[in-house]
Amino acid sequence: MSDNRALPGLKGCTLCPRGCQADRTQTTGFCGMSDEVQITRAALHMWEEPCISGTHGSGTVFFSGCTLRCVFCQNYQISTQRKGYAVPVERLCDIFLELEQAGALNINLVTPTHFVPQIIRALDMARGKGLSLPVVYNTSGYETVETLKLLEGYVDIYLPDFKYADHALSARYSGAPDYFERASEALGEMVRQVPEAVYDGEIMKKGVIVRHLMLPGCLMDSKKVVRYLYETWKDQICLSLMNQYTPMKDIGKAYPELDRRVRRRSYEKLIDFALELGVKNAFIQEGETAKESFIPDFDGEGVYGQGKLS
């Protein structure tokens, strides 16, 4: 069993912008997690961008807890309800190797920020045992530059969200009025670390893909996000503009404006706006994606080996 007490950043935790300073060797932080790694699923995942999933699948590891806690989160079972299964760092290392053996194109760390020290240790161990896959850092974008610098040389592909430009929206929906500033600084550090995209055929080996999920009634803010991203980084980053927002059960009670899907015409206006700006390096979603389920079963698959736990 791992002893995480000597890992940096877990006592007086400031790994994320919340800066809660919790001693996570003794208690939980804002993220809801202690120093014990918890994950809910480790398996091949086909629903990422085509250059990430390909035809074989991305080796996703879903971590429990979250530093942002958006009110519309589709992964609420693990982000706010904290569903998860404890694994020592040694087991996390083995999971990475098992995903590679299963044919994964990469190791995809989903919501990993609050476990960065443990992930680095596990990656060191796995590389010592032959792990050679690219590592994807799949994040809300709400990061500190200091934590991202710990990951230099470990992460090959950064896959952050860029959720908002408007401070009032980020405060209302994510409790983070400083989201734009933090996400901007974080993205700058990601691009510094991985300044150029590298592909093997159609599969990304290095690069930065920035996701933006359009919310109902937020076309103007989405346009501000796209303009900022393109005017700041041009085609150095790839954009992924998503219309798959699906209202979760009972969200209309507190947030009635979010209790509907994004209108097709609003999304089309956003795509037209991006094209008018000159955006060429981007993924868009076509068809009735909001009617599809992009939420995997958080059933413990791959956590302790073969089979499911729920």
| Stretch 185-193: mean pLDDT | 98
Range 259-284 burial, b when 16+ CB lie within 10 A, else e: eebbeeebbeebbebbeeeebeebeb
75 or 216, greater pLDDT: 216
295 or 58, greater pLDDT: 58
- Cα dihedral sign for 67, 68, 70, 73? negative
Global confidence as pTM: 0.94
What's residue 6's pLDDT?
59
Q: Is the pLDDT of residue 310 over 70?
A: no
Give the model confidence (pLDDT) of 216-254 as tens digits.
999 999 999 999 999 999 999 999 999 999 999 899 999
Give the model confidence (pLDDT) of 53-62 as tens digits.
999 999 999 9
Give the model confidence (pLDDT) of 76-96 as tens digits.
777 777 778 999 999 999 999
What integer best gives the mean pLDDT of the chain?
93
Give the model confidence (pLDDT) of 148-159 as tens digits.
999 999 999 999
What's residue 288's pLDDT?
60
Alpha-carbon distance of 302 to 45, in angstroms, equals 12
Q: Is the pLDDT of residue 21 over 70?
A: yes
Give the model confidence (pLDDT) of 106-143 as tens digits.
999 999 999 999 999 999 999 999 999 999 999 999 99
Give the model confidence (pLDDT) of 27-49 as tens digits.
999 999 999 999 999 999 999 99
Give bridge partners of residue 208 from the DSSP assignment: 158
